[in-house]
Amino acid sequence: MFILNPNSGTALGKYADVVEKTIRSFAKKYGTDATILFTKERAHATELVAENLTARNWQAVVAVGGDGTVNEIAKPLVGTNTPVGILPMGSGNGLARHLGIPLKLEASLKRLFEGTATTMDSGQLNEIPFFCTAGMGFDAYVGHLFSQQIERGLATYVNVSFQAYWSYKPQHFRLNGLDTNAFSLSIANAGQFGNNAWIAPEASLQDGLLDICTIKPFPKWYGTALAYQLFTRQMKSSKYIDYQSITHAVIETDIPPMIHYDGEPFQMDTTRIEVRIKPQSLKVIL
């Protein structure tokens, strides 16, 4: 079962018919068939999976889109034997990039049809599952601003981040009871946000651990160096970042925070957030 989000990235909406034809031709070539469904709105992918999951013994449910689409599709597959597949067509494609899934449609289809299922960890912020990264602070603020843009894609993301950067002020958090001021507090299951922005270059999807990455307040002029470290997998060498590997953590905030899960912004209605890992909880085709 393939679920396409025509709102993902910049190309999928325009070329959905080409994508659909290519999927069907690969399915035929590999001696199987493809059920292709389109999402109509936010959260619809989760409904489509739930409605159709028991209809057949699916080889995989494939997210055709970005990290938000993977999240919506993987959520109901946690703890089941049905693997998720990914054809990365989003703006950031963090999970697909971490997993080394090719970004070109034909290459990712070849990998999908020739791949095998393996298990990976997933994380939770209270009851909200995530698979790639989640967090609060600057990343969530940017996620929120990005979701309000008409155009998606990398250029919009860079533009939104750059504008938000100048006015953004670090916030107060309590992490496991310890007070901290942070520019951002990211929780990494996979190593990157997307677009090869490696917040936790050493993160593993199979180690039963989440990495909490706290970026401490830094002078504005240092932003370029931090961005360089982010895109060259050198964040570990920065004096402004702290890492903690955890299976469980409690984050408290002064007011209910805006968070993001896999890049999707969400306004919490509580100031207490429990972070948990669900080891080996999702099957994924690689």
Ligand X SMILES: Nc1ncnc2c1ncn2[C@@H]1O[C@H](COP(=O)(O)OP(=O)(O)OP(=O)(O)O)[C@@H](O)[C@H]1O
Which residues are at the interface with ligand X (CB under 6 A)?
5-9, 39-42, 44, 65-69, 72, 90-93, 152, 194, 263-264
Task: Report in angstroms how near the CB of residue 136 gets to ligand X at its nearest.
Answer: 17
Nearer to ligand X, 7 or 159 (CB): 7
At 105, is the secondary structure helix, strand, or coil?
Answer: helix
Task: Report in angstroms how near the CB of residue 224 gets to ligand X at its nearest.
Answer: 23
Task: Report in angstroms how near the CB of residue 160 gets to ligand X at its nearest.
Answer: 12
What is the identity of the amino acid at 34? A
Q: Match 């860079």 to its residue by tokens.
A: 158
Nearer to ligand X, 4 or 275 (CB): 4
Nearer to ligand X, 171 or 184 (CB): 184
Angle at 235 between CA 230 and CA 241, to 5 degrees: 120
- The whole-angstrom separation of Cα 23 and Cα 117 is 19
Q: Which residue has the CB atom at the shortest distance from ligand X?
A: 66
Nearer to ligand X, 129 or 263 (CB): 263
CB burial of 87-118 (b: ≥16 within 10 Å; e: otherwise) equals bbbbbbbbbbbbbebbeebeebbebbbebebe
> Which tokens hold the place of 102?
């090719």
Please choose, from the candidates 77, 78, 74, 27, the residue with its C-alpha nearest in 3D space to the C-alpha of residue 86.
Answer: 74
Task: Report in angstroms how near the CB of residue 40 gets to ligand X at its nearest.
Answer: 5
Q: Match 């940017």 to its residue by tokens.
A: 142
**Rg (alpha carbons) of the chain, rounded to whole number:** 19
Task: Report in angstroms how near the CB of residue 210 gets to ligand X at its nearest.
Answer: 19
Nearer to ligand X, 44 or 174 (CB): 44
